[in-house]
Structure 1
Amino acid sequence: MPRLLVQSIATGRFLVPALEFPYSPEWVISLRETGGGVLSDYEVACALVEEYSEIDDICIIVDLDKIGTVNDYPI
């Protein structure tokens, strides 16, 4: 099961789903603040990007399990 995060290229912030009421996703600055906001479904991550990112902001979906492996993202 993948561990996915949504990150803004422009700001570096992470978009995480809220785990408490009012259940509205929020942008956080620190990776540490993402807490339980790691996603396991790529389609859910894409839906968050579509719904909550700014129109001029490019977001990426990062698979935490790829980082530091042979399949790591190119620099």
Structure 2
Amino acid sequence: MRLVIQSRTTGCFLAPNVEDGQPEWVMLLSEAATLDDVETCVQLIEDHAEPFHRPAVVDLDDLYGKALNA
């Protein structure tokens, strides 16, 4: 499973920085490190997202599968 956290307000992605592991909001999906489990996503959201972000966990593998079947 490859997961990312996306702000439904800004479109930015919340992910650990690939260099130091510190969470940050990035604009590009290509800059967002993927996460392996929902528990990590929940913890990042609780610790680093504000309510206005309206964060959503997106399963990239699921999206890819839907695109192939469309």
Q: Which TM class, normalised by the smaller chain length?
A: 0.7 to 0.9
More helix by share: 2
Percent identical residues: 39
- Alpha-carbon separation, structure 1, partners of 2:24 and 2:15: 6
Q: How many pairs does the alignment contain?
A: 67
Query: How far did 1:32 drift?
Result: 1.3
- Alpha-carbon separation, structure 1, partners of 2:57 and 2:39: 10
- Alpha-carbon separation, structure 2, partners of 1:44 and 1:31: 18
- Structure 1: which 5+ residue stretches go unaligned? none
Question: Which portions of structure 1, spanning 4 or more consecutive aligned residues, are displaced by more than 4 angstroms?
Answer: none
- Root-mean-square deviation (CA, aligned residues, Å) is 1.6
- Structure 2: which 5+ residue stretches go unaligned? none
